[in-house]
Structure formats: C-alpha cells, structure tokens
Amino acid sequence: MITKSTTRIHAQTTPVMKERFRQRLVSNIQRFIGADHKEIDQRIEELDREWSVERAVEVEAPAMIGIVTALGLLQNK
C-alpha cells in the first residue's frame, strides 16, 4: 500500500527540520500580520512565480524521461 505523501514526508523528516519549518512558518505569519496590502501582494506574486517554476519542473522531468526513453529505443534498433 502506498502511503500519502504528507504522511511519508512527515515520517521521513527529522525533528530538527520539522522545528526549522515550524519556526519559519511562525516567523512568516508574524511578519505578515501587520503588513500592508502592498507587501502582502508582493509576497503572493513571489509565491506565484515560485510555484510556476515548480510546475514547469514537474512537467519537464517526465517529458525529458519520455524523450530519452524514445531516443534510447530508436537508437537500439
């Protein structure tokens, strides 16, 4: 049975890293509690760009694997 990725990630993350993530989360929340709309909007734009890069990598990796596999199959004939 395949475990959920959130469960698997939690189980394989060290307590030190979990604490670092928690501290960063708390710090980010505190930072933006008193922030003005402009600063919040800028952060949202930054996150959108980061997520766009992640999505591109997620699409590119399988595509490259497919291309390399196809080239390998064609080369071996």
Secondary structure (DSSP) of the chain: -PPPHHHHHHHHS-HHHHHHHHHHHHHHHHHHHS--HHHHHHHHHHHHHHHHHHHHHHHHHHHHHHHHHHHHHHHT-
Q: What tens digit of pLDDT does each residue of 14-59 get?
A: 999 999 999 999 998 898 888 899 998 998 898 888 888 778 778 7
Give the pLDDT of residue 41: 92
Residue 32 CB partners (closer than 8 Å, separation 6+) = 39, 40, 43
Give the pLDDT of residue 24: 92
> Which range has highest mean pLDDT (3-7, 11-15, 37-41)?
37-41
User: How far are the Cα atoms of 8, 10, 26 from residue 33, in angstroms, in the given order?
Assistant: 31, 27, 11
Note the pTM of the prediction, 2 decimals.
0.49
Give the pLDDT of residue 6: 65
